[in-house]
Structure 1
Amino acid sequence: MFLVGKEGTVQFDMPVPKYLSSVGSEGAQGGTIAPMAGTIEKVFVKAGDRVKAGEALMVMIAMKMEHTIRAPKDGTIKKVFFKEGSQASRHVPLVEFE
């Protein structure tokens, strides 16, 4: 972040929270996280499934819009934390990878 004023410019870093440090709203280390609070509309995977990076894992309805949650990497699903119709809070884990 830069702060510009009459006396000059100052640059300082802001640490990224751990839950956002890997892949942003599409995922985190070892899994995926909810980008915002919403309802899980559809779940496409179950524990033990092999997925490719970018593959749709589930659809979440938030703010009257559909958000497709995609795999951040190739891997095997270890656990799915929500089922269809469940409410998920912002930044909670949705899927865990092995």
Structure 2
Amino acid sequence: MRGTGSQRLVADGLLVPVHRVAQGDPPAPPVQLFLGLCVLAPVVGAAQSALDVVQDMFESDCKPFMPSYTHLSDSPGKRENLTAVEHAQLRTSLAGAA
């Protein structure tokens, strides 16, 4: 597969030994919800904190790495990216609350 640009491998008719297959029932829905929240809550918290840091940079006199703009908030591309991140974070928060 080297040099083809493909990173996929398809195996049809493959035999998996019984001792390699997971046994048992999936966790009950309350356990799944608890485990999902344990994973989702830190991710949403980290995204909110990162968004706060970026918003603080926009409100401060911090100069960006781009010499053509005096402040980070002057860059239309950065404002667009910040808006996209805010919408994604809001969608994630609403999905977690549902």
- The bucket for the TM-score relative to the shorter chain is under 0.3
Structure having the higher Rg? 2
More helix by share: 2
Q: TM-score, normalised by structure 2?
A: 0.24
Flag the structure with higher strand content: 1
**With CA pairs under 8 Å and 6+ residues apart, which has the higher RCO, 1 or 2?**
1
